Amino acid sequence: MSGKGSVVLAYSGGLDTSCILVWLKEQGYDVIAYLANVGQKEDFEEARKKALKLGARKVFIEDVSKEFVEEFVWPAIQSSALYEDRYLLGTSLARPCIARKQVEIAQKEGAKYVSHGATGKGNDQIRFELTCYSLAPEIKVIAPWRMPEFYNRFQGRNDLMEYAKRHGIPVPVTPKNPWSMDENLMHISYEAGILENPKNQAPPGLYTKTQDPAKAPNSPDILEIEFKKGIYETPAGTILYHAHLDIEAFTMDREVRKIKQGLGLKFAELVYTGFWHSPECEFVRHCIAKSQEHVEGKVRVSVFKGQVYILSRESPLSLYNEELVSMNVQGQYEPVDATGFININSLRLKEYHRLQSKVTAK
Amino acid sequence: MSGKGSVVLAYSGGLDTSCILVWLKEQGYDVIAYLANVGQKEDFEEARKKALKLGARKVFIEDVSKEFVEEFVWPAIQSSALYEDRYLLGTSLARPCIARKQVEIAQKEGAKYVSHGATGKGNDQIRFELTCYSLAPEIKVIAPWRMPEFYNRFQGRNDLMEYAKRHGIPVPVTPKNPWSMDENLMHISYEAGILENPKNQAPPGLYTKTQDPAKAPNSPDILEIEFKKGIYETPAGTILYHAHLDIEAFTMDREVRKIKQGLGLKFAELVYTGFWHSPECEFVRHCIAKSQEHVEGKVRVSVFKGQVYILSRESPLSLYNEELVSMNVQGQYEPVDATGFININSLRLKEYHRLQSKVTAK
Amino acid sequence: MSGKGSVVLAYSGGLDTSCILVWLKEQGYDVIAYLANVGQKEDFEEARKKALKLGARKVFIEDVSKEFVEEFVWPAIQSSALYEDRYLLGTSLARPCIARKQVEIAQKEGAKYVSHGATGKGNDQIRFELTCYSLAPEIKVIAPWRMPEFYNRFQGRNDLMEYAKRHGIPVPVTPKNPWSMDENLMHISYEAGILENPKNQAPPGLYTKTQDPAKAPNSPDILEIEFKKGIYETPAGTILYHAHLDIEAFTMDREVRKIKQGLGLKFAELVYTGFWHSPECEFVRHCIAKSQEHVEGKVRVSVFKGQVYILSRESPLSLYNEELVSMNVQGQYEPVDATGFININSLRLKEYHRLQSKVTAK
Amino acid sequence: MSGKGSVVLAYSGGLDTSCILVWLKEQGYDVIAYLANVGQKEDFEEARKKALKLGARKVFIEDVSKEFVEEFVWPAIQSSALYEDRYLLGTSLARPCIARKQVEIAQKEGAKYVSHGATGKGNDQIRFELTCYSLAPEIKVIAPWRMPEFYNRFQGRNDLMEYAKRHGIPVPVTPKNPWSMDENLMHISYEAGILENPKNQAPPGLYTKTQDPAKAPNSPDILEIEFKKGIYETPAGTILYHAHLDIEAFTMDREVRKIKQGLGLKFAELVYTGFWHSPECEFVRHCIAKSQEHVEGKVRVSVFKGQVYILSRESPLSLYNEELVSMNVQGQYEPVDATGFININSLRLKEYHRLQSKVTAK
């Protein structure tokens, strides 16, 4: 046991967190390495050996895929949450799941510290640390990329390379990609390098999890997805998102859906900004889950050239009444009622017109 | 001039409104036919001749495409409004534009009545009539499909066909498609027939404006779209929607965007339910337009197999500061500030944890 | 048993519903009178005798006070719902409670019809009837004030008086107040007559449940109200509203409260417009109830001259940490963190300033 | 001119900022004292002399009352914004107004620094500093209560007293009130001391701007307030709030008002948390101002025992149509229309009932 006590480090096996591992030991900490399996492509055993070789006292490789899907991805799908109307929140969702397990390990191992290799910019550090403080207020977070003694020493990749060589940390032989990736079973994202210039488009060779649509097969794949209050098989996020949206619109009252839509916007914001583990996000998740009680049924989708097309859907709990909709059957519906409906709604508009005329006349 | 005065009928040239034209004359109205050009494929001259032959006193064929795009489509694109997170509101947008011109014609021609062929179900009749009452409270709407004397007489297509034959109305020779279409320069939609059963998928041959993705060309089209407070060229709605979303996220403050997003949800609801011409929709449009003041720039998009891919964007008014984002440059940003930011945000979460512990302990 | 079957009439004992009772019998209905006790001042036994004398087959006088308070008033207090930022929704809350019991009586008695004396204007008829249709879609509502055969016959109070005399309906001897009242244990409201002119102020003598503040006692009443997930004693709505607001702000996380506030606005709108019994209102009530889980504690209030003053509060579950707030104790709080918090928040504002300068410079 | 350059200090004349003034000089700054007049009771000339005597190079006493009312109080009244449904935001509104002038002085005087005496806790420092950074990103804020060299030296009131004596700063002879006050023409608030314990009620003698209701005169004051897009006389905030709410409900379309209400919640949050000078608050203010275009008219209010009672109102632009509301006049309104309106609205509720039955039956 070193002088300053134990720290649980979120370890990736890469150059950065390997250097951090060694540096933490230098600072007098006893390091426990932790690597979460959220479905990314990774040689976990290789990473374990590496961490031990670099001096980690223990290594935890934890498969949190199941809880990631059930407790994080699924509520997000239910919320139909897109950040800025576009992004599926893959990275934002994985972080609180990974950090939660890290806190558990720290508590189990009696470690007072946790550490991570997230940069001092952006939301990733926030997602990580708010999770820690929410679940274990007494814990201390060591964020090297925000500590002058660390970031002043390692001002660029060269400094890391040199430090690695000196401390027996294996150095990657291939030149680094000019971007960094974040991968999990839901998604993969890229950042940095030439991608930072919004004028540049994605370079060929970027696609790993998906295929460049231009090279995708020329025939579609057909899937059938069954929803039952969250029991389901897991295709990729985008497919699930579209299929869920379809079955939801088919089974949920439209006014409930409007209210839920507002809650979904809030949910996306909270997740993106790192507040998954907060009273307000817990509250919003509860409300959204409530809205899903009768969302069940089957959706057939076609996946073609990287896009999702809904083919058809069916549900025992549909609010869609084929008889009522049909142009040929009247059901309980009296056309004259629509006249009353329109007249009552127009009263207010007519009054407003009267007012506008007064204003204009002035 | 007939006994009951003049009525301006929204005429399509099809079987239904041709029968309505003749029926209105039978009822003692003097009929003025009106056909709006919103970019649909149509033989307008043929329709004019037909209306005159059936006894219309006058025929107005009005090209409202420009105002449709500028005053209706464009605000919708700016709002990023999707009804139920999916639909681009094509039909809902065209209706108030078409009805507005119809009211103008009625006022110019001194007609007390307007009429349309919309069914007694659904939102189309509402969109039409609320527009009329908002703009001309004194006007009377004749909606034959809600009048027992009309719908009891015409209980199915056969009744219409027979009436047509008897009154010299040209009857379509080809069997009718088992769905009806609504087309304008922004979109095309289909309803009725086999499409009413949600278990059925779209039949081959449905695509007219677009192509079945499976048969689309194997190379993408690249477009560059320039936004400048609403000056732009008009590609299809979907492309415009995605390109605008991209440039908006690039140039609009994220907190302004969140507020605008809530207004966009309201806008979509109002448009869909027929309240374009209402004080609240006017108010929402004003607010959304205000949010767009600095949304300008160029977006390059690739259209491939019916899908839109954003390639790159640039804007003189971007809020995206490449220097600030870059991992290598610090700019005004001090990493230690993030620690303070996280600590302050975590205070509330820690307090909540303390409370939760009390509750659990009880 | 008469020809048309049974109708359950919401009976008040007054002139209007007495005339309706007799008129319904004239139309061939078998009338069951129903009078709900929601805490109003009323001689219920007198009303029962009157209804029987006028020919009601049965009379139900139902005390629904307890369910009114527990299932309707209390959720409204929890929502902090004020319609238009001012009104406590007293009438709107009582109506769905009263109508629900009426539907139950109809179902128990095998009556196909329900009836009420609400006018053909305003929201009261809507609140009544949407409740009926929601709970028993097959039921038929008879609304005499919307039926031409009724309202054409009774065009003013004189017609009712004359009809009453002819049919042995006791006629009030005192001249009618120039307003009508709606009273329940939560509130009393007045409408019609001189109150319809917004330029007029309330006449002396209007106050029955409360006192004109100018005449109220010159010493305050002090109350202590205990909240425990809805267990409480029932003072008037306004006191409860303010006391609850106070304890809620004291025990609820502020971000949860903001979300709940939005839901409260929606709740007020739904209740006011008659949608208590709807999927969306049910959903909103569920969410609001969830937010109240830890809202408990005691509030001391002073009631003086018709106004409510909060004196103090205490709660075992307060989120208010006296130690943290105190200016003298630092706790976990490091002042320097505030600097980081402010700097991070100002980054975006500085960028926006930079952009504004560009725009101005153009 | 001292070594570190000039700093504009927000000076109150009290013990704290007097000590800060001297301390800043000790640190090598050239101090310009600035005292804003926002309507508080203050001997401004006394404060000017004191500042000069303590070594301020210049003193600015700026009357910002007019801009405070017109640009800050008035938009808040228009928003009907209450923080947590109760507070009129008096302090939050004054801060950005005061700080804006301070920035102007700094720019005019070529000072690189501004300073204030706000504590290192709470929102006041944030309101102050975000205003500075928004309006002048290059400015540096000196916040002594967050600087260890300051707060470690002055750990309590005694340290300040002693420092004051040593530096010739006049020391208050009366013992300090156990609370601090913030006053402006809109409101007065108190904090600290025994008020920090939520179990304590306000001590007698706290009221300065208002009167303890128990001691207020026994006859009401009647006021008539005229609104005209913001031209008005200035009574206290509470009166204005209630009067405006009344005339707004009287002249604004109810659906516009609902949307505006949501914006008002956002506005209150932004103002309270210090974001007055931000793109989102600017946007919200613009939208709210737009909603007020037709809000004009006169309101008569009675002020009695510290409470506000609306007596009556009138407006040339009212949406309230007395004729339409009256129970005796029908106007354009056909009672049968209400039947259609109710039937159409009940369709969805009936469908939901059908679904619920299915779910229950399972």
Q: What is the pLDDT of residues C325-360, one digit of tens each?
A: 554 444 567 888 999 999 999 988 988 888 888 777
Question: Which comes out higher in pLDDT, residue A175 or B353?
Answer: B353
Query: Is position B95 annotated as part of the catalytic site?
Result: yes
User: Over pLDDT 70: what percentage of chain D?
Assistant: 82
Nearest CA in chain A to C280: A256
Taking CB atoms and an 8 Å limit, are D290 and B283 in contact across chains?
yes
**Identical topology for domains D6-188 and D221-314:** no
Query: Contact A267/A285 with Cβ under 8 angstroms?
Result: yes
Taking CB atoms and an 8 Å limit, are B341 and C344 in contact across chains?
yes
Q: What is the pLDDT of residues D143-167, one digit of tens each?
A: 999 999 999 999 988 999 999 999 9
CB neighbours of residue C19 within 10 Å? 23
Rounded to whole angstroms, the Cα distance separating B134 from D347 reads 26
Q: What is the pLDDT of residues C58-97, one digit of tens each?
A: 999 999 999 998 899 989 989 988 877 777 787 899 999 9
Given a cut of 70, is residue C182 above it in pLDDT? yes
pLDDT confidence bin for D273, thresholds 50/70/90? very high
Rounded to whole angstroms, the Cα distance separating C112 from C32 reads 12
Q: Using a CB-CB distance cutoff of 8 angstroms, which residues of chain A are in contact with residue C271?
A: none
CA distance D162 to chain A (A): 38
Q: What is the pLDDT of residues D203-236, one digit of tens each?
A: 665 555 556 666 666 677 777 777 765 484 445 7
Taking CB atoms and an 8 Å limit, are A304 and B339 in contact across chains?
no
Q: What is the pLDDT of residues A25-79, one digit of tens each?
A: 999 999 999 999 998 888 999 999 999 999 999 999 999 999 998 899 989 989 9
The pLDDT score that the predictor gives to residue A130 is 96
Q: What is the pLDDT of residues B239-292, one digit of tens each?
A: 888 889 989 988 999 999 999 999 999 999 999 999 999 999 999 999 999 999
- C312 SS3 class: strand
The pLDDT score that the predictor gives to residue A316 is 84
Given a cut of 60, is residue C178 above it in pLDDT? no
Parallel, antiparallel, or unpaired: how do β-strands D113-115 and C6-10 relate?
unpaired
Given a cut of 60, is residue C32 above it in pLDDT? yes
Helix axes C254-272, A254-272, angle to 10 degrees: 170
Query: Contact B4/B28 with Cβ under 8 angstroms?
Result: yes
Q: What is the DSSP letter of B146?
A: G
Rounded to whole angstroms, the Cα distance separating D309 from D241 reads 12
Q: Which of D6, D12, D16, D80 is catalytic?
A: D16
Question: Which comes out higher in pLDDT, residue A2 or C341?
Answer: C341
- Calculate mean pLDDT across residues C227-238: 61
Nearest CA in chain C to A264: C259
Whether A256 and chain B come into contact, CB under 8 Å, resolves to: no
Alpha-carbon dihedral sign for residues D51, D56, D57, D60: negative
Whether C341 and chain B come into contact, CB under 8 Å, resolves to: yes
End-to-end CA distance of chain D: 85
Best CA proximity match to A265, nearest among A294, A288, A249: A288
Q: Which of B6, B30, B124, B285 is catalytic?
A: B124
Q: What is the pLDDT of residues B151-171, one digit of tens each?
A: 999 998 899 999 999 999 988
Which amino acid belongs to residue D70? E
Helix axes A254-272, A279-291, angle to 10 degrees: 150
The pLDDT score that the predictor gives to residue A355 is 80
Whether D116 and chain C come into contact, CB under 8 Å, resolves to: no
User: Over pLDDT 90: what percentage of chain C?
Assistant: 53
Query: Is position B180 annotated as part of the catalytic site?
Result: yes
Query: Contact D135/D277 with Cβ under 8 angstroms?
Result: yes
The pLDDT score that the predictor gives to residue D230 is 42
Best CA proximity match to D143, nearest among D121, D163, D161: D121
Which of B256, B317, B337 should we substitute to test contact with C (largest number of C Cβ atoms within 10 Å)? B337
Residues 128-167 of B with CB under 8 A from A: 129-130, 133-135, 137, 143, 145-146, 148, 151, 156
Q: Which of C124, C127, C134, C315 is catalytic?
A: C124
The pLDDT score that the predictor gives to residue C352 is 86
Rounded to whole angstroms, the Cα distance separating B37 from B63 reads 5
Residues 50-79 of A with CB under 8 A from B: none
Query: Is position B100 annotated as part of the catalytic site?
Result: no
Residues 309-338 of B with CB under 8 A from C: 316-319, 321, 324, 332-334, 336-338
DSSP H or E run through C108: helix C90-109
The pLDDT score that the predictor gives to residue A232 is 44
pTM: 0.90
pLDDT confidence bin for D195, thresholds 50/70/90? low
Taking CB atoms and an 8 Å limit, are D120 and C335 in contact across chains?
yes
The pLDDT score that the predictor gives to residue A331 is 52
Whether D205 and chain C come into contact, CB under 8 Å, resolves to: no
The CA-atom distances, in angstroms, between D71 and each of B189, D41, D74, D101 are 49, 21, 6, 13
Q: What is the pLDDT of residues D60-82, one digit of tens each?
A: 999 999 999 889 998 998 998 88
C256-271 in b/e form (b: 16+ CB < 10 A) is bbbbbbbbbbbbbbbb
Domain B221-314, CATH number (from 1.25.40.10, 3.40.30.10, 3.90.1260.10, 3.40.50.720): 3.90.1260.10
The pLDDT score that the predictor gives to residue D199 is 72
Query: Is position C337 annotated as part of the catalytic site?
Result: no
The CA-atom distances, in angstroms, between B33 and each of B10, B20, B29, D340 are 6, 11, 12, 30
**Other chains touching D, judged by 3 or more CB pairs under 8 Å:** A, B, C
- Calculate mean pLDDT across residues C14-23: 96
The alpha-carbon radius of gyration of chain D (Å, integer) is 26
- Calculate mean pLDDT across residues C168-180: 71
Which of D320, D325, D344 should we substitute to test contact with A (largest number of A Cβ atoms within 10 Å)? D344
Q: Where on the phi/psi map is residue B5: left (φ > 0), alpha (ψ -120 to 50), or beta? A: left
Given a cut of 70, is residue D327 above it in pLDDT? no
pLDDT confidence bin for C37, thresholds 50/70/90? very high
Rounded to whole angstroms, the Cα distance separating D19 from D13 reads 10
Taking one residue from A and the other from C, the number of pairs with CB-CB distance under 8 angstroms is 47
- Calculate mean pLDDT across residues A265-289: 95
Alpha-carbon dihedral sign for residues B43, B47, B48, B50: positive
Given a cut of 80, is residue D193 above it in pLDDT? no
Mean pLDDT, chain B, as a whole number?
A: 85
Q: What is the pLDDT of residues A176-200, one digit of tens each?
A: 665 566 777 776 666 655 556 777 7
CB neighbours of residue C311 within 10 Å? 17
Taking CB atoms and an 8 Å limit, are B340 and C345 in contact across chains?
no
Q: Using a CB-CB distance cutoff of 8 angstroms, which residues of chain D are in contact with residue B286?
A: 287, 290
Question: Which comes out higher in pLDDT, residue C306 or D92?
Answer: D92
**∠D87-D89-D95 over CA atoms, to 5°?**
155
With the CA atoms of B283, B286, B290 and B293 taken in that order, what torsion angle do they form, in degrees rounded to the nearest 10? 160
Parallel, antiparallel, or unpaired: how do β-strands C113-115 and C58-63 relate?
unpaired
Query: Contact A64/A97 with Cβ under 8 angstroms?
Result: yes
Beta bridge partners of B36: B62
Taking CB atoms and an 8 Å limit, are A129 and B349 in contact across chains?
no
- Calculate mean pLDDT across residues C258-275: 95
Nearest CA in chain A to B157: A328
Q: Which of A95, A127, A285, A313 is catalytic?
A: A95
Where do the H-state alpha helices sit in C183-330?
Answer: 237-251, 254-272, 279-291, 322-325
Q: What is the pLDDT of residues A97-133, one digit of tens each?
A: 999 999 999 999 999 999 999 998 889 999 999 999 9
Whether A346 and chain B come into contact, CB under 8 Å, resolves to: yes
Q: For residue C361, give every residue at least 6 positions away whose Cβ sits within 8 Å of its Cβ, in sequence order, or none.
A: none
Q: Using a CB-CB distance cutoff of 8 angstroms, which residues of chain D are in contact with residue A261?
A: none
Q: What is the pLDDT of residues C98-113, one digit of tens each?
A: 999 999 999 999 999 9
The pLDDT score that the predictor gives to residue D302 is 85
Whether B258 and chain C come into contact, CB under 8 Å, resolves to: no
DSSP calls for A318-332: ----HHHH-SS--TT
A24-38 in b/e form (b: 16+ CB < 10 A) is bbebebbbbbbbbbb
- Calculate mean pLDDT across residues D274-301: 94
The domain limits of chain A are 6-188, 221-314, 333-361
Whether A352 and chain C come into contact, CB under 8 Å, resolves to: no
Given a cut of 80, is residue C33 above it in pLDDT? yes
Q: What is the pLDDT of residues D240-266, one digit of tens each?
A: 888 899 999 899 999 999 999 999 999
Nearest CA in chain D to A338: D340
Residues of chain B with pLDDT under 70: 1-2, 173-181, 187-196, 200-218, 220, 228-230, 232-235, 320-332, 362
Q: What is the pLDDT of residues B180-194, one digit of tens each?
A: 667 777 766 665 555
Whether B279 and chain D come into contact, CB under 8 Å, resolves to: yes
Query: Contact C132/D348 with Cβ under 8 angstroms?
Result: no
Domain C6-188, CATH number (from 3.20.20.70, 3.40.50.620, 3.40.50.300, 2.30.30.240): 3.40.50.620
Rounded to whole angstroms, the Cα distance separating C306 from C301 reads 12
Structure tokens at D152: 């470690």
Best CA proximity match to D189, nearest among D246, D122, D126, D234: D122
CB neighbours of residue C289 within 10 Å? 15
Which own/partner contact pairs does B26-29 have at CB distance under 8 Å and 24+ positions apart?
B28/B2, B28/B3, B28/B4, B29/B2, B29/B4, B29/B5, B29/B113, B29/B142
Q: What is the pLDDT of residues A197-224, one digit of tens each?
A: 777 766 665 555 556 666 666 676 777 7
Q: Using a CB-CB distance cutoff of 8 angstroms, which residues of chain A are in contact with residue C256?
A: 279-280, 283
